């Protein structure tokens, strides 16, 4: 198998798996119970939250643990009023789009590389806007957004409102799911009020995530019950998954620089090979793109046919974001960067990670090129 879809899911690391195992059997206790073994489990859980928070420059008390990025995004949107207006980038994940659709929503335009146009954001921040939500990294393009610049614009508007005596708050939320583990993510440096985290993209388990909530931000509980997570997310804490999340994230942070260099080398080699495909068009600017991503299109080719052809050779890649592809809808992200319908239909996303090395990337390059060129020849007949 050659797996080239790490942006959709990553395998659970052995270290994370080993770390969580005791909390399924010998240390299985409910951390809310009063007796000593349960309190030891509580201590381990809180220590894991502190470990996750440390990576982003926060404290464990700033995190609300959730079932993953989607729940975290929904919780972030609870911080604003029902009649609020929200601004989202044109390249957001479907979870952000769905939450924004419940409010008055306007999209911030992006350039041809999928990067937010700051002048458009400045123009669209009106007095009724309560939330700006922009992903750290586009899940389809790998484009890194200028979050700190966006934060400065939000801060200027917040200061303007304070000077004018306006009571409406404005927050900046960022979904860091695709960037976490592949770049430095510090809440103070980014300037965000809320940050979504997801274990499933950093070789942690699926079904666990977190929302960083900054001081002064009041989110509303979406799941009520026993009052866990400071009353913001009731339900018995997922101790094994939280500990595995902390382990995987710390490991990723420890090897961040080396892994980025390794991925950059793989990307350079694979992209050079793919350049042999007639009519190929790469998306995104390498200077503002994660080293793990290659997004490209070949107009006139049906990307789904390429996916199926490569699957016969156990090579797995994506036509774009997994959730969009599964619904057979055209990607709003690819539309936003100016691709036409033919280019969108011929678009593929490669996202590399720990399951890739020089040998399998070289093999993948050969077979991807062969599959696309064979399809082009078929279409000529």
Q: Please give the positions annotated as active site.
A: 323
Query: Listing from the earlier edge strand, what are the strands of the sheet with 63-66?
Result: 63-66, 209-213, 194-198, 171-175, 129-133, 85-89, 104-108
Helix, strand or coil for residue 168?
A: coil
Is 139:93 a contact under the CB 8 Å cutoff?
A: yes
Question: Residue 276's closest CA among 339, 365, 357, 348?
Answer: 365
In a 3-state reduction of DSSP, which class is residue 313? coil
Distance CA 184, CA 130 (A): 27
Residues 6+ apart with CB under 8 A from 310: 316, 317, 367, 368, 371
- The C-alpha atoms of residue 221 and residue 161 are separated, in whole angstroms, by 27
Report in angstroms the alpha-carbon separations of 222 from 260, 272, 363: 37, 48, 47
Determine the 3-state secondary structure of 283 from DSSP.
strand
- 242, containing H or E segment: helix 239-254
CB contact set of 270 (below 8 Å; sequence gap of 6+): 294, 350, 352, 361, 364, 365
Distance CA 237, CA 45 (A): 8
Q: Compute the distance between CA of residue 196 and CA of residue 187 in angstroms, rounded to an integer.
A: 11
Please give the torsion angle defined by the CA atoms of residues 178, 179, 182 and 187, in that order, rounded to the nearest 10 degrees: -150
303: nearest Cα among 348, 259, 262: 348
């Amino acid at each position: 198998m050659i797996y080239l879809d790490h942006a959709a899911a990553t395998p659970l690391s052995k270290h994370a798996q080993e770390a969580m195992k005791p909390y399924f059997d010998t240390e299985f206790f409910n951390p809310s119970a009063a007796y000593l073994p349960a309190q030891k489990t509580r201590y381990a859980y809180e220590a894991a939250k502190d470990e996750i928070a440390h990576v982003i420059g926060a404290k464990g008390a700033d995190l609300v643990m959730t079932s993953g990025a989607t729940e975290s995004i929904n919780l972030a949107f609870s911080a604003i009023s029902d009649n609020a207006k929200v601004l989202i980038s044109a390249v957001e994940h479907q979870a952000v789009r769905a939450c924004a659709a419940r409010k008055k929503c306007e999209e911030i335009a992006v350039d041809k590389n999928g990067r937010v146009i700051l002048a458009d954001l400045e123009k669209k921040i009106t007095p009724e806007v309560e939330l700006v939500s922009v992903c750290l990294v586009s899940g389809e393009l790998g484009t890194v957004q200028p979050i700190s610049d966006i934060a400065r614009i939000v801060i200027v508007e917040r200061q303007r409102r304070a000077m004018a005596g306006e009571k409406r708050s404005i927050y900046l939320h960022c979904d860091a799911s695709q960037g976490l583990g592949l770049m430095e993510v510090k809440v103070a440096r980014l300037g965000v009020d809320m940050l979504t985290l997801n274990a499933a993209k950093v070789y942690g388990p699926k079904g666990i995530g977190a929302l960083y909530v900054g001081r002064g931000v009041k989110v509303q509980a979406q799941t009520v019950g026993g009052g866990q997570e400071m009353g913001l997310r009731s339900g018995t804490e997922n101790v094994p998954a939280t500990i595995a999340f902390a382990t995987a994230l710390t490991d990723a942070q420890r090897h961040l620089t080396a892994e980025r260099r390794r991925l950059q080398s793989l990307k350079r080699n694979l992209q050079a090979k793919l350049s042999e495909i007639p009519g190929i068009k790469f998306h995104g600017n390498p200077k503002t793109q994660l080293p793990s991503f290659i997004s490209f299109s070949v107009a006139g080719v049906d990307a789904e046919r390429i996916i199926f052809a490569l699957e016969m050779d156990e090579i797995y890649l994506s036509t774009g974001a997994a959730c969009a592809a599964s619904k057979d809808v055209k990607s709003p992200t690819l539309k936003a960067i100016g691709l036409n319908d033919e280019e969108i239909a011929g678009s593929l996303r490669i996202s590399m990670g720990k399951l890739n090395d020089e040998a399998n990337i070289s093999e993948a390059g050969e077979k991807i090129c062969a599959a696309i060129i064979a399809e082009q020849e078929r279409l000529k007949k």
